[in-house]
């Protein structure tokens, strides 16, 4: 279980499906849906780091809304999930130099970071949190 202010790590495999495209003539990658955890294991204020292929993704519960963001500061690759969650504006602070990233868009809100990081779709199916990766 993730307690508020703490991040757990979950490693996942790289099984990505493809379908042939009849009109273009190449295989298109389908998004993969990954089961993360039951909703009860990620209460408001909690974070969980998921490793998918070579990418670390922070799944965050900010005031009851679920977000997923690349767990890497675009300024110096700092682990965002080790930083402070700013629930009042759904942002996460890089623990190295203090850049704030918007959990909804991945855009930096403060310097020194100026490039956005990737975000991912999160959904709840029954009582299970799921993440869409591609």
Question: What percent of the chain is predicted at pLDDT more than 70?
Answer: 79
Q: Taking all residues of the chain, what is their mean pLDDT, rounded to a whole number?
A: 86
Q: What is the pLDDT of residue 10?
A: 53
Model confidence at 134, pLDDT cuts 50, 70, 90, reads confident
Q: Which tops the pLDDT comparison, 32 or 2? A: 32
Domain boundaries, the chain: 7-133
Tokens of 39: 């909703």
Residue 104 has pLDDT above 60, yes or no: yes
Q: Class for domain 7-133, per CATH?
A: mainly beta
Model confidence at 27, pLDDT cuts 50, 70, 90, reads low
The predicted model gives 43-47 an average pLDDT of 97
Tokens of 50: 């998921």
What 8-state DSSP symbol labels residue 2? P
Residue 11 has pLDDT above 60, yes or no: no
The b-or-e profile of 76-110 (16+ CB within 10 A means b, else e) is eebbbbbbebbbeebbbbbebebbbbbbeebbbee
């Amino acid at each position: 279980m993730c307690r508020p202010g703490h991040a757990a790590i979950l490693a996942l495999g790289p099984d990505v499906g493809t379908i042939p495209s009849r009109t273009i003539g190449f295989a298109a990658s389908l998004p993969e849906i990954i089961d993360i955890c039951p909703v009860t294991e990620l209460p408001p204020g909690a974070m969980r780091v998921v490793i998918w292929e070579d990418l670390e993704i922070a799944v965050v519960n900010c005031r009851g809304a679920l977000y997923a963001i690349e767990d890497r500061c675009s300024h110096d690759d700092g682990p965002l999930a080790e930083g402070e969650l700013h629930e009042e504006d759904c942002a996460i602070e890089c623990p190295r130099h203090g850049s704030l990233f918007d959990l909804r868009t991945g855009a930096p809100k403060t310097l020194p970071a100026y490039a956005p990081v990737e975000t991912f779709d999160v959904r709840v199916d029954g009582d299970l949190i799921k993440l869409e990766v591609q």
